[in-house]
A and B are shown apart, each in its own frame.
Chain A
Amino acid sequence: MKNSMLNHPAPPEQKAVPSHPRPKHRLTSEIWKHRKEYLAISPFFIVFAIFGLFPIAFSMFLSFQKWDGIGEMTFNGLNNYQFMLTDPEFWKAVGNTLLIWVYSTIPMLFFALIIAFLLNAAFVRFRTFFRIGYFLPNVTSLVAVAIVFGTLFSNNYGLLNYVLSLFGIPSVEWLNKTWGIQLAVSVMVIWRWVGYNAIIYLAGLQSIPSVLYEAAKIDGASGIQAFFKITIPNLRPIILFTVITSTIGGMQVFTEPQVLVGNDGGVSGGGLTIVLYLYREAFVHNYFGYGAAVGWGMFVLIALFSILNWRMVQGKPSND
């Protein structure tokens, strides 16, 4: 914020006058003076209070109730939480979510980096064309993506099994196996987000000043050395950004498994993610109070996971 502010918070003349005994009063008048600014920013805070904050508080209350959404609420103590912590399916959903996150995020960021490097090479032609092509999956609706990938992974008529058969490999019942479902979901996530992350990495690469590379070259550094000493450290904040966004996204996977294998997450609940579990318990089985408790369970997990994420990144010694 280099520019001067329009409204100085405290005009100097006021300060100079010593007979201004009540700062409280001054603050109210300050606020009154800036009522237009407050009005301008208020919609967000009002909407958040009603549709963000209040539901959170209300969900705390709900999580201690037994309620099917239709009849009477009855106080349920900690039973919802106890049920959640002892329900193998809840933990399965947690595990699935983490696994799908790992299966999708690591290859996704890896491929995105590669594509970004390729696109960044000086002699690439039709760069815009490639960028659009890679980005296209990202604007496609998830429901449609899940339907199309369902036909690719199908046990009986899937294209993937056809490709395997060309190599003499017997067909695989992808959607009848836990790992197959998780693979299919991860592939969907990867497919949808590789281009997006590649574009971001590309921008990061382009923002690294070429002087750095030239200097390294003069110092006799090899291409690989330059990659590890210059590219990676400079790209680190951007990699961090993509890791955080894909963590947030990864914790919320819902549409892919729901459309692909249904509300139960398919065989052995292989595609049962936390959000799908929450949706099923609340809106399919009508355990509304329990759904609220699962929401809190999810919140705690995400918080823990974010802290872990943060610590890992912080813990690394900085290269520069």
Chain B
Amino acid sequence: MIGVNLMLKWKSILLHLGLIAGLIMSIFPFYWLLVMATRTTSEIYSFPPKLWFGPHLFDNIARVLSSIDFFGAFWNTLFVASACTLLVLFFDSLAGFTFAKFNFPGKKWLFVLLLATMMVPAQLSLVPSFVIMAEFGWVGTYKALIIPGMVNAFGIFWIRQYAQESVPSELLDAGKIDGCGFFRLYWNISLPILRPALSFLAAFTFIGVWNDYLWPLIILNDENKFTLQVALSSLNGIYTTDYSMVIAGTLLAVIPLIVMFLFISKQFISDIAAGAIKS
């Protein structure tokens, strides 16, 4: 029996060592980013590299703030991501709820059509989408970022799955008898029940929009409207000779989302997993 216990103990140690090794790989780039952000450009370029923190973090950050309007880009990103998220929450939940709880002619076909649209890669229409935005006069505006992304098939699918399971039809029937109209059935009765699904959809959409790069890169042309990703890539392109500043800018751009993620991580991760199992 002692032998088995000992073996188990060793197994456990090995297993944790493996997990920790993987974790280090996963975390190390963040550490490295932080180290470089505290160094001067010459120190970053030096060989052998400096592996520990230096004293220049605030100096570097100060140069970032004087070179680009970092907080402006931050607020722009926050605005676009929040706007998209709110619209997605509203339109996706409304449509998902409808698909889950009502019957109407053509419903099945419409839903299949909706799923089929997920298969079309967005990059196929990169050029025509740009041309359309140009026709609308939307190039350089947030409309071009927000409106096409204000409702999506994935979210509708996700809400529908959740609503089917968790919104009891009896409750809706009761509401109907009490004289609730369609919108109140959705807004007053179902929405509160859908809350867990909505919070995941919100986080998922928010992170996606926050990190979006290709489309904002093409659409935005006024520095004052740049999102963080575009501003960061622009910083990287302009100030190659001040590399410690570019790195400090990278650090600043990474922090907000990570902080947000740490707050919601536990629930978000289990939702991701649950979503994959369901679909």
Q: Does chain A bind chain B? A: yes
**A37/B8 contact (C-beta < 8 A), A44-B153, A125-B16, A199-B269 known:** no
A positions within 8 Å CB-CB of B: 1, 3-9, 27, 30-31, 34, 36-38, 40-41, 43-45, 47-48, 50-52, 54-56, 58-59, 62, 69, 111, 114-115, 118-119, 121, 123-125, 128, 130-137, 139-145, 147-149, 151-152, 156-157, 159, 161-162, 165, 191, 194-196, 199-200, 202-204, 207, 238, 241-242, 248, 251-252, 254-255, 259, 275, 278-279, 282-283, 288, 291-292, 295-296, 298-299, 302, 306
- Taking CB atoms and an 8 Å cut-off, the chain B residues in 153-172 that contact chain A are 153, 156, 164, 168-169, 172
Q: A52-B117, A133-B23, A165-B48 are in contact. Are A142 and B104 (CB under 8 A)?
A: no
A40 to B187, CA, bound (A): 12
* Contact digits for B34-59, partner A, Cβ 8 Å, 1 yes 0 no: 00100000001111110000000000
User: Contact at B124–A299, with CB atoms within 8 Å?
Assistant: yes
Q: Provide the residues of chain A in CB contact with B8, threshold 8 Å.
A: 123
**CB neighbours of A199 from chain B (8 A):** 269, 272-273
Which B residues from 65 to 120 make CB contacts under 8 A with A?
A: 91-92, 94-95, 97-99, 101-105, 110, 113-114, 117, 119-120
Q: How far is the CB of B88 from chain A (nearest CB, A)?
A: 10
A197 closest partner in B (C-beta): B276
Q: A144-B254, A296-B124 are in contact. Are A195 and B273 (CB under 8 A)?
A: no
* Complex Cα–Cα for A237 and B103 (A): 30
Contact of B29 with A148 in the complex, beta carbons under 8 Å: yes
Residues in B with CB closer than 8 Å to A196 are 272
Interface check B7, CB cutoff 8 A: no
B194 within 8 A of A: no
How far, in whole Å, are A139 and B247 apart by their CA atoms in the complex?
Answer: 18
Q: CB distance A44 to B91 under 8 Å?
A: yes
Pair A43/B91 contact, Cβ less than 8 Å = yes
Q: A43-B94, A140-B254 are in contact. List 5 more A-B contacts (CB 8 A).
A: A31-B105, A40-B182, A52-B125, A135-B269, A162-B48
Partner of B44, one of A48, A157, A252: A157
Known: A6-B169, A156-B45, A279-B126. A238 touches B276 (CB 8 A): yes
Name the one of A40, A139, A143 contacting B261, with C-beta atoms under 8 angstroms.
Answer: A139
Closest residue of A by beta carbon distance from B176: A6
Residues of A within 8 A of B104 (CB): 7, 9, 30-31, 34, 37-38
The interface residues of chain B lying within 8 Å CB-to-CB of A125 are 16
A163–B230 CA distance with the chains assembled, in angstroms: 32
Q: Which residues of A contact B36 (CB under 8 A)?
A: 151
Give the distance to chain A from B155, nearest Cβ to Cβ, in Å: 9
Which residues 233-272 of B sit at the A interface, judged by CB distance below 8 A?
Answer: 233, 236, 246-247, 250, 253-254, 257-258, 261-262, 265-266, 269-270, 272
- The smallest beta-carbon distance between B46 and chain A, in angstroms, is 7
Q: Are A40 and B95 in contact (CB under 8 A)?
A: yes
